[in-house]
């Protein structure tokens, strides 16, 4: 009896072992035993099927071999970026689908408003997307130095349609890490020509004229500006854009570069002066219409409607803001409610503040590099522009590409004028906060500025705090 | 050579078959059913048919190309041979022998497949087990309990698995020809999911059943238990180590034997010899053990030696040939090897009574198993031994172990070996660098470790019956504890340890920075800013709070004079307060010396010290003065109004304090104080007031509902409630809409008249209530009416001559009237924090209410009735009967709330993201770690939060165990 019970136990152990074996066997089925098992179990059934099975196996083998040699069929690539509105994210997906369908692969795009936080969590957690679309070259540089993103192979860089100037933003210490795929012109002011005409206002040619124009508007009972800097975790960036434009206008491109590279301290008088100029301008009584009640609580995207409604006369914002102008609004066609832009004026020269996004790869697979190459191509720019224009119902798309060889006919006259501004800029500089280390550019520059705009801190205090946070 | 391989392989297969056959025979004999020709025949037929199918398929998958007929013949002959052996050994009749033979052959096939494709293995295993199952069912109607439960289940489960595998293979291929949507990959993923479920459910069930079966044997069948336990441990240790290696070296990999093979570097024959030696060694040990138990120390060891040597020969031969086997099967094979050897050792140890013999067997067997393990370790884990730790660590820890067991009065050898084992493991794998060490040193490391482990269990005194029963009970508890503990370990303890480590590192967790991150938390003014503390004395709120506190104290003393009933002692309370104030004075002195210049020290700082010390001293003096007159009535009675007034005072004091000392940490503390007191207070109030009222359930449901809303959801809802639009636009936020509309009504139009009429009506009603109360002597009614009337009177004043209330509007330079809105979130810092706290209070009041409601309903009604008969009013009943009885519940609710509030994150993240001076620790942690990628500081913040939560949590759990 005792012996037999002991053996019962052994039997059960063995049975369990078999179950375990059966289950663990499954893993192997995925890789190589799969086709084999199919094959052999079929052999017992019918010879016809066996023959078909062999054909099938042959086909599969052929496909696999293709996979070694650059066929993308059946592969999947994930892309993650900060563009999250229906129009932008939808058009991005549409443009990627064009490439995916041509190659029988799957590309999925996910957009998140708090991309800058989420990508950190994903990357440090080891589950990064295949490709990240970074609005900040500073972040790309940080990640490149941390080893989180991979250098772009020479052939992919060589195939791009973008010129050296833009490629440079994705170049970290001499190695290309990011592929430009979108450009923005930031030194723009949106306005309604009809409203200007009604008030007897003229488009200002210099910054001084711009300031006196706002004074005229206040005197006439109009509100000159719409401003809102709320943007979730990125709250404050609208302010930093203003400061950057002012730096370009009153400190010049060289000082701007020193500022970006921390060759002058952040609380240098010339920087504090520009920050104070913006805060003082906004704090002028009657100057700002903030649809959320206060500047710090108004989402940056909520300024399009008031501009169209005539609650304010002007809104300084980048070219992509076309995507936030209410649907159905006409652009620069001379009609009653049409919205137009003028260049944010400068007293001297014509400096242009720009921005853009960089695609950077987190995983090293042939299909990832194929998609990276696509991002840098004119085909992507065309597909994206076409899709985004369609999604905007034929209006201004909000998308802009400086890729050479792009189909210019896809752009409306106003958009072409943006491209002209880009092409003719005497001084072109990338958004400073996007170039600075993320601790500052996506951190304290935003948060401390928000405090300064909201009046919680003086501008000088905010600048000191930002300087203190600059990483060694 | 090929012929030898073939022979050896088949010998091994036959051995496998024999094992199975023995097991089945055991089951049969346990069933008390003799096999008769009639009952066994159909089973035999079925099994034979199954075997025939198997045999047909075999040639394509067998490790060696053998013609079909030859395979068949060989299997049958082998089976018959085994059957004959079994029959002569256990005495079953011929038919049973035949059936067993067939089964044995089938099992032999199985074993052959073991070395082949795993997928086929499943199919064949299932078919074979169906055979066993059918045989079992046909031959025997009355199955004994254990087997009856497990065997058909196992058979059915495996059959299902096999069928599924077959189905997948079958359906998968035509599918792949269909269009893209119907791709077989989808089916595969479904299949994979089903597989995973089967694995999880089946595996857990089998483990549970097996563990129970195992523990059943602890008391009565000790050697079986030790054998099975040994086998299980061996299986798990070998499987884990080997599986780990398989994971690290994906793709084809070597087995234990091939590693040993490389190790010895002498090719096939040397491996064979080593295998034989190891086998003989273990076999001799096992045989010796059996011999001891049978009082025959000559024959059994020799038999054991022979069997062991034979097994070693088979094992060595088979694996020396590097038969191309699949990774997963090989992991299993190595695990099974471990299980067999460790099980054998366990059996031997369990079988022998004599401690010395057992120690010898344990040491020898353990060392052998250790050597096997050593052979399995791959290069990355091979240590480079260092002499000092290798000698020092075991000696020191061995001495410690001896000492500990000396103190506990336990066996000294056990203690010494345990210590030495731990020390040895530390000395070999803990201190030295892992990876790239010489193989011989690895073998020494694992061999000695195994030997020590074996000695430790072998040298243990023989467990008596009581000890075994205890062990059985402990083991059963472990079945439930181990999974839970492993979840806690992987989900909680390991991350915590890692976070603690990270908190001492720099931004990117590269360099050690000591306590720098913690220093930063407590020195950075954004997180810890006490410089404004002296402004407390310039705050109106502070004086209001002080007034209320004094009022409450006086009320309490007065109440205690009137009645002899008490709630809480006064002497201790006063002494505590006094000490607290004096400590605060000292702290202020120290802080002042550090941060404030001399002139200011004489001003606010000096005054503050003086006030604090004086108050403290007064409290202390008072507490000692009361000593002489201390009696039942001489206590402060805070029940009722004095208590409420004091609580309001404390709340206002918290406003005063936390608006002067700022920073993330203080802000979090403010959240804790405010949200906890108000949620618990409102919850208690609702629970009491709604108790036994009409529509109680409806009312409580509405208050409970917000609890169902997520923090993020609540944050978004309230953000919309608070939102302010530009003053020239219509307001969309509820709060500002009311505010602005109120302003419009109160400044003119018919609305104003209507409002005044309504206000007058309400005031009239209140006056009537007051009059009734006054006349009937119901002081509470009159008092409440008077208090409630105050805001309405104020509103009436504002509506009539006071210039309006709410967003009354201002006239701009252009002559446009603008309504003023309230910027709830960006303005009025730091009191805007209260608007955020309100959201959490809104959610958590429901929680507090439900728990309090249950506790109040559990209060013994006879006590309340007795009190009422004695003339107590409702207020007295509440304060003197109900509250003392629900004190433990209050403790649980308050501590639970504290923990919830401390961790607050979502609401702040969604509503302000820490802007506008509303930062809290959890959100700061997120921003530091994930926005700025400063993992060191983020981790340090997490640890600070953790350290703050732990004591509360501990108290909470202890109270809960007592209270609920």
Up-side HSE of residue B827: CA atoms within 13 Å toward CB? 10
pLDDT value of residue B466 = 80
Q: What one-character-per-residue DSSP string does B191-245 give?
A: HHHHHHHHHHHHHHHHHHHHHHHHHHHHHH-HHHHHHHHHHHHHHHHHHHHHHHH
A450 → chain B, closest CA residue: B915
Put simply, the answer to whether A443 touches B336 (Cβ < 8 Å) is no
* A239: nearest Cα among A286, A263, A274: A274
Q: How many angstroms separate the Cα of B653 from the Cα of each of B528, B591, B659, B864?
A: 19, 21, 10, 35
Query: Residue A188 belongs to what H/E stretch?
Result: strand A188-191
- Using left for φ > 0, alpha for ψ between -120 and 50, and beta otherwise, residue B47 falls in alpha
Distance from C-alpha of B72 to C-alpha of B292, rounded to nearest angstrom: 43
Above 80 in pLDDT, residue B280?
no
Partner A contacted by B156 (CB < 8 A)? no
Distance from C-alpha of B188 to C-alpha of B186, rounded to nearest angstrom: 5
Eight-state DSSP code of residue B430: I
Max mean pLDDT range (A468-472, B312-316, B572-576) = A468-472
Query: Residue B594 belongs to what H/E stretch?
Result: helix B571-595
**3-class DSSP assignment, residue B933:** coil
Higher pLDDT, residue B343 or B851? B851
Distance from C-alpha of B724 to C-alpha of B879, rounded to nearest angstrom: 43
Partner A contacted by B150 (CB < 8 A)? yes
Higher pLDDT, residue A198 or B82? A198
Distance from C-alpha of B692 to C-alpha of A95, rounded to nearest angstrom: 65
Above 90 in pLDDT, residue A398?
no
Distance from C-alpha of A291 to C-alpha of A136, rounded to nearest angstrom: 28
Distance from C-alpha of B663 to C-alpha of B654, rounded to nearest angstrom: 15
User: Tokens for A267?
Assistant: 């609380």
Above 60 in pLDDT, residue B396?
yes
Higher pLDDT, residue A117 or A263? A263
**Chain B residues with CB inside 8 Å of A233's CB?**
913, 931
Q: Nearest CA to CA, how far is A437 from chain B (Å)?
A: 9
Eight-state DSSP code of residue A29: I
Distance from C-alpha of B514 to C-alpha of A246, rounded to nearest angstrom: 43
**3-class DSSP assignment, residue B39:** helix
pLDDT value of residue B93 = 45
Distance from C-alpha of B381 to C-alpha of B374, rounded to nearest angstrom: 10
Q: What one-character-per-residue DSSP string does B66-77 give?
A: --HHHHHHHHHH
Domain ranges of chain A: 76-185+355-416, 188-317+437-469
Above 80 in pLDDT, residue B563?
no
Put simply, the answer to whether A9 touches B177 (Cβ < 8 Å) is no
pLDDT band at B197 (very low <50, low <70, confident <90, very high): low
Above 70 in pLDDT, residue A298?
yes
What's the whole-number mean pLDDT along residues A3-13? 48
Above 50 in pLDDT, residue B176?
no
Q: What one-character-per-residue DSSP string does B856-875 give?
A: HHTS-HHHHHHHHHTT--HH
Distance from C-alpha of A321 to C-alpha of A386, rounded to nearest angstrom: 17
Up-side HSE of residue A204: CA atoms within 13 Å toward CB? 23
Residues 25-44 on A with a CB inside 8 Å of B are: 25-30, 33-34, 36-38, 40-44
Distance from C-alpha of A8 to C-alpha of A344, rounded to nearest angstrom: 87
pLDDT value of residue A274 = 94
Eight-state DSSP code of residue B880: I
pLDDT value of residue B374 = 78
A357 phi, psi to nearest 5 deg: -120, 150
Up-side HSE of residue B914: CA atoms within 13 Å toward CB? 26
Domain ranges of chain B: 663-724+828-964, 729-818
Distance from C-alpha of B66 to C-alpha of B11, rounded to nearest angstrom: 15
pLDDT value of residue B94 = 41
Distance from C-alpha of B875 to C-alpha of B784, rounded to nearest angstrom: 13
Task: Tally C-beta pairs within 8 A across A and B.
Answer: 251
* Stretch among A321-330, B413-422, B648-657 having the lowest mean pLDDT: A321-330
Above 70 in pLDDT, residue B629?
no
Higher pLDDT, residue B885 or B803? B885
Q: Residue B301, Cα to own-chain centre: how many angstroms?
A: 49
What's the whole-number mean pLDDT along residues B856-882? 87
Closest by Cβ to B917, choosing from A289, A306, A456: A456
Above 70 in pLDDT, residue A369?
yes
Put simply, the answer to whether B221 touches A235 (Cβ < 8 Å) is no
Above 90 in pLDDT, residue A211?
yes
* Stretch among A157-166, A386-395, A445-454, B557-566 having the lowest mean pLDDT: B557-566
Q: Cis link prior to B760 (omega < 30° from 0)?
A: no
Distance from C-alpha of B848 to C-alpha of B702, rounded to nearest angstrom: 14
Q: Nearest CA to CA, how far is B452 from chain A (Å)?
A: 27
pLDDT band at B824 (very low <50, low <70, confident <90, very high): confident
> The dihedral of CA B250, B253, B257, B262: what is its sign?
negative
What's the whole-number mean pLDDT along residues A172-187? 90
Partner A contacted by B207 (CB < 8 A)? yes
Above 70 in pLDDT, residue B254?
no
- Give pLDDT tens digits for A260-272: 989 999 999 999 9
* B851: nearest Cα among B744, B708, B700: B700
Partner A contacted by B127 (CB < 8 A)? no
Above 50 in pLDDT, residue B337?
yes
In this prediction, what percent of chain B has a pLDDT beyond 70?
65
- Give pLDDT tens digits for B897-925: 999 999 999 999 989 888 888 999 999 99
pLDDT value of residue B813 = 57
pLDDT value of residue A68 = 40
Higher pLDDT, residue B88 or B803? B803
pLDDT value of residue A204 = 92
Mean per-residue pLDDT over chain B, rounded: 72
Contact B432, B407 (CB under 8 A): no
pLDDT value of residue B319 = 57
**3-class DSSP assignment, residue A343:** strand
Query: Residue A315 belongs to what H/E stretch?
Result: strand A314-316
* Domain A188-317+437-469 coded CATH 3.40.190.10: yes
**Helix, strand, coil tally for chain A in percent (to 5):** 55, 15, 30
Higher pLDDT, residue A151 or A330? A151
Distance from C-alpha of A60 to C-alpha of A44, rounded to nearest angstrom: 21
Higher pLDDT, residue A430 or B469? A430
Q: Residue B118, Cα to own-chain centre: how many angstroms?
A: 35
pLDDT value of residue B511 = 83
Put simply, the answer to whether A28 touches B328 (Cβ < 8 Å) is yes
Q: How many angstroms separate the Cα of A190 from the Cα of each of A223, A229, A399?
A: 14, 16, 16
Residue with token string 């072998």 = B458
pLDDT band at A209 (very low <50, low <70, confident <90, very high): very high
- Give pLDDT tens digits for B233-252: 888 888 777 766 655 554 44
* Stretch among A223-237, A447-461, B142-156, B565-579 having the lowest mean pLDDT: B142-156
pLDDT value of residue B917 = 87
Contact A266, A466 (CB under 8 A): yes
Residues 270-309 on A with a CB inside 8 Å of B are: 285-286, 289-294, 296-297, 306
pLDDT value of residue B34 = 44
Higher pLDDT, residue B300 or B505? B505
Distance from C-alpha of B882 to C-alpha of B876, rounded to nearest angstrom: 9
Distance from C-alpha of B403 to C-alpha of B408, rounded to nearest angstrom: 9
Could you tell me which residues are beta bridge partners of residue A429? A353
Above 50 in pLDDT, residue B283?
yes
Residues 158-197 on A with a CB inside 8 Å of B are: none
| Burial class of residue B892 (count of CB atoms within 10 Å of its CB; 0-12, 13-18, 19+) | buried
Q: Which fold has domain A76-185+355-416?
A: D-Maltodextrin-Binding Protein; domain 2 (3.40.190)
Distance from C-alpha of B346 to C-alpha of B234, rounded to nearest angstrom: 10
Q: Nearest CA to CA, how far is B242 from chain A (Å)?
A: 14
Put simply, the answer to whether A294 touches B814 (Cβ < 8 Å) is no
In this prediction, what percent of chain B has a pLDDT beyond 90?
11
**3-class DSSP assignment, residue A162:** coil
Strands A188-191 and B810-811: unpaired
> The dihedral of CA A449, A455, A459, A465: what is its sign?
negative
What's the whole-number mean pLDDT along residues A291-296? 84
In this prediction, what percent of chain A has a pLDDT beyond 70?
85
Higher pLDDT, residue B654 or B97? B654
Mean per-residue pLDDT over chain A, rounded: 81
Residue with token string 């970006």 = A260
Distance from C-alpha of A442 to C-alpha of B404, rounded to nearest angstrom: 57
- Give pLDDT tens digits for B570-619: 667 777 888 888 888 888 887 777 665 555 555 667 777 888 888 888 87
What's the whole-number mean pLDDT along residues B124-140? 46
CATH number listed for the domain at residues B663-724+828-964? 1.10.3720.10
Contact B50, B128 (CB under 8 A): yes
* A450: nearest Cα among B832, B917, B665, B836: B917
Q: Residue A412, Cα to own-chain centre: how many angstroms?
A: 22
**Chain A residues with CB inside 8 Å of B91's CB?**
none
Above 50 in pLDDT, residue B65?
no
Above 80 in pLDDT, residue B169?
no
pLDDT band at B318 (very low <50, low <70, confident <90, very high): low
pLDDT value of residue B731 = 83
**3-class DSSP assignment, residue A178:** coil
């Amino acid at each position: 009896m005792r012996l037999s019970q002991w053996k019962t136990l052994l039997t059960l152990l063995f049975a369990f072992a078999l179950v375990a074996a059966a289950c663990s066997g499954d893993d192997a089925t995925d890789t190589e035993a799969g086709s084999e098992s199919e094959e052999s179990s079929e052999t017992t059934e019918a010879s016809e099927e066996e023959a078909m099975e062999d054909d099938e196996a042959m086909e599969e083998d052929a496909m696999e071999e293709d996979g070694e040699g650059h066929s993308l069929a059946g592969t999947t690539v994930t892309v993650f970026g900060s563009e999250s509105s229906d129009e932008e994210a939808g058009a991005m997906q549409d443009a990627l689908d064009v490439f995916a369908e041509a190659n029988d692969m799957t590309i999925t795009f996910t957009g998140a408003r708090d991309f800058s936080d989420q990508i950190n969590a994903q990357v440090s957690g080891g589950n990064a997307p295949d490709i990240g679309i970074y609005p900040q070259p500073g972040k790309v540089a940080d990640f490149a130095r941390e080893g989180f993103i991979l250098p772009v192979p020479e052939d992919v860089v060589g195939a791009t349609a973008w010129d050296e100037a833009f490629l440079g933003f994705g170049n970290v210490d001499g190695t290309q890490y990011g592929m430009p795929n979108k450009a923005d012109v930031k030194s723009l002011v949106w306005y309604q020509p009809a409203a200007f005409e009604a008030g007897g206002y003229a488009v200002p040619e210099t910054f001084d004229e711009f300031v006196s124009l706002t004074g005229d508007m206040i005197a006439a009972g109009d509100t000159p500006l719409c401003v809102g800097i709320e943007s979730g975790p990125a709250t404050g960036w609208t302010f930093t854009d203003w400061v950057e434009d002012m730096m370009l206008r009153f400190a010049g491109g060289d000082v701007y570069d020193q500022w970006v590279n921390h060759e002058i301290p952040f609380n240098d008088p010339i920087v504090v002066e520009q920050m104070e100029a913006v805060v003082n301008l906004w704090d002028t009584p009657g100057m700002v219409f903030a649809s959320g009640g206060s500047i710090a609580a108004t989402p940056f995207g909520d300024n399009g409607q008031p501009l169209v409604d005539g609650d304010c006369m002007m809104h300084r914002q980048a070219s992509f803001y076309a995507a936030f102008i209410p649907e159905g609004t006409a652009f620069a066609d001379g009609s009653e409610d049409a919205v137009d832009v003028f260049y944010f004026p400068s007293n001297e020269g014509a400096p242009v503040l720009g921005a853009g996004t960089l695609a950077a790869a987190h995983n090293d697979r042939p299909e990832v590099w194929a998609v990276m190459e696509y991002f840098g191509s004119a085909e992507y720019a065309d597909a994206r522009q076409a899709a985004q224009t369609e999604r905007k119902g034929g209006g201004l798309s909000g998308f802009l590409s400086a890729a050479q060889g792009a189909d210019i006919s896809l752009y409306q006259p106003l958009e072409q004028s943006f491209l002209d501004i880009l092409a003719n800029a005497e001084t072109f500089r990338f958004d400073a906060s996007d170039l600075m280390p993320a601790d500052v550019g996506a951190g304290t520059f935003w948060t401390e500025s928000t405090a300064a705009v909201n009046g919680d801190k003086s501008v000088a205090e905010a600048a000191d705090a930002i300087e203190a946070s600059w990483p060694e | 050579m090929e012929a030898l391989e073939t022979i050896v392989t088949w010998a091994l297969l036959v051995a496998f078959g024999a094992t199975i056959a023995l097991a089945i025979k055991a089951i049969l004999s346990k069933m008390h059913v003799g096999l008769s020709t009639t009952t066994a025949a159909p089973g035999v037929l079925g099994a034979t048919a199954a075997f025939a199918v198997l045999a047909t398929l075999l040639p394509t998958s067998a490790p060696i190309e053998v013609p079909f007929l030859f395979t068949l013949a060989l299997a049958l002959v082998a089976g018959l041979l085994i059957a004959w052996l079994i029959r002569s050994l256990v005495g079953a009749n011929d038919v049973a022998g035949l059936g067993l033979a067939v089964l044995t052959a089938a099992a032999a096939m199985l074993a052959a497949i073991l070395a082949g494709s795993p997928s086929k293995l499943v199919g064949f295993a299932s078919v074979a087990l169906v055979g066993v199952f059918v045989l079992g069912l046909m031959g025997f109607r009355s199955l004994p309990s254990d087997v009856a439960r497990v065997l058909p289940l196992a058979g059915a489960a495996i059959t299902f698995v096999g069928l599924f595998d077959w189905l997948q293979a079958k359906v998968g291929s035509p599918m792949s020809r269909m269009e893209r949507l119907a791709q077989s990959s989808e089916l595969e993923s479904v299949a994979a999911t089903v597989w995973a479920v089967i694995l999880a459910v089946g595996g857990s069930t089998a483990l549970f059943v097996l563990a129970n079966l195992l523990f059943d044997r602890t008391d009565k069948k000790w050697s079986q238990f030790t054998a099975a336990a040994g086998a299980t441990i061996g299986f798990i240790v070998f499987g884990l180590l080997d599986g780990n290696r398989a994971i690290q070296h994906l793709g084809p990999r070597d087995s234990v034997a091939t590693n040993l093979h490389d190790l010895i570097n002498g090719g096939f024959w040397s491996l064979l010899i080593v295998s034989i030696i190891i086998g003989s060694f273990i076999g001799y040990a096992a045989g010796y053990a059996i011999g001891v138990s049978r009082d025959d120390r000559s024959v059994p060891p020799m038999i054991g030696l022979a069997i062991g040597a034979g097994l070693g020969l088979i094992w060595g031969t088979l694996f020396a040939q590097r038969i191309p086997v699949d990774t997963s099967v090989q992991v299993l094979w190595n695990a099974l090897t471990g299980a067999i050897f460790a099980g054998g050792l366990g059996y031997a140890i369990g079988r022998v009574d004599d401690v010395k013999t057992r120690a010898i067997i344990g040491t020898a067997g353990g060392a052998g198993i250790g050597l096997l393990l050593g052979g399995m370790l791959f290069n990355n884990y091979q240590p480079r031994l260092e002499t000092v730790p290798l000698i020092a660590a075991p000696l020191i820890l061995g001495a410690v172990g001896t000492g500990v067991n000396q103190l506990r009065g336990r066996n000294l050898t056990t203690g010494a070996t345990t210590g030495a084992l731990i020390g040895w493991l530390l000395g070999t794998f803990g201190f030295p660098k892992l990876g790239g060490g010489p193989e011989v040193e690895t073998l020494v490391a694992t061999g000695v470790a195994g030997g020590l482990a074996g000695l430790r269990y072998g040298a243990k005194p023989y467990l008596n019956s009581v000890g075994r029963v205890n062990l059985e009970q402990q083991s059963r508890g472990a079945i439930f504890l181990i999974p839970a503990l492993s979840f806690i370990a992987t989900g909680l303890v390991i991350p915590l340890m890692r976070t603690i480590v990270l908190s001492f590192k720099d931004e990117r967790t590269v360099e050690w920075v000591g306590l720098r991150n913690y220093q930063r938390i407590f020195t950075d003014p954004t997180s810890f800013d006490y410089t404004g503390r002296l402004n407390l004395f310039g705050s109106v709120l502070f004086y209001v709070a002080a007034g209320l506190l004094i009022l409450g104290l006086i009320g309490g003393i007065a109440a205690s004079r009137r009645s002899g009933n008490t709630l809480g002692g006064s002497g201790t309370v006063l002494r505590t307060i006094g000490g607290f104030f004096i400590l605060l004075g000292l702290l202020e002195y120290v802080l002042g010396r550090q941060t404030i210049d001399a002139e200011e020290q004489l001003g606010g700082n000096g005054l503050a010290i003086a006030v604090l010390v004086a108050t403290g001293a007064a409290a202390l003096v008072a507490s000692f003065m009361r000593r002489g007159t201390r009696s039942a009535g001489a206590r402060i009675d805070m029940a009722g109004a004095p208590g409420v007034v004091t609580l309001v005072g404390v709340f206002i004091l918290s406003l005063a304090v936390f608006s002067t000392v700022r920073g993330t940490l203080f802000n979090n503390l403010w959240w804790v104080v405010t949200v906890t007191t108000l949620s618990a207070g409102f919850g208690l109030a609702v629970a009491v007031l709604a108790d036994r009222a009409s529509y109680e359930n409806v009312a409580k449901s509405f208050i409970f509902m917000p609890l169902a809303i997520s923090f993020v959801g609540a944050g978004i809802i309230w953000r919309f409630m608070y939102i302010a639009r530009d003053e020239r636009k219509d307001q969309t936020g509820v709060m500002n809409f009311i505010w602005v509309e109120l302003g419009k009504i109160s400044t003119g139009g018919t609305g104003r008249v209507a409002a005044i009429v309504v206000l007058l009506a309400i005031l009239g009603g209140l006056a009537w209530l007051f009059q009734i109360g006054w006349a009937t002597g119901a002081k509470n009614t009159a008092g409440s009416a008077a208090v409630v009337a105050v805001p309405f009177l104020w509103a009436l004043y504002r509506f009539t001559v006071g210039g309006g209330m709410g967003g009354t509007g201002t006239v701009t330079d252009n002559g446009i009237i603008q309504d003023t809105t309230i910027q709830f979130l960006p303005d009025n810092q730091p009191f805007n924090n209260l608007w955020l706290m309100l959201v959490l209070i809104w959610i958590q009041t429901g929680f507090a209410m439900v728990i309090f409601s249950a506790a109040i309903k559990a209060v013994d009604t006879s006590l309340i009735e007795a009190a009422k008969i004695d003339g107590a009013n409702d207020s007295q009943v509440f304060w003197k009967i109900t509250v003392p009885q629900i004190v433990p519940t209050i403790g649980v609710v308050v501590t639970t709330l504290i923990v919830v509030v401390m961790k607050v994150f979502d609401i702040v993240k969604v509503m302000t993201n820490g802007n506008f001076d509303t930062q809290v620790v959890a959100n700061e942690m997120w921003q530091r770690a994930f926005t700025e990628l400063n993992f060191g500081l983020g981790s340090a913040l997490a640890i600070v939060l953790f350290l703050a939560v732990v004591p509360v949590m501990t108290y909470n759990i202890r109270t809960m165990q007592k209270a609920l």
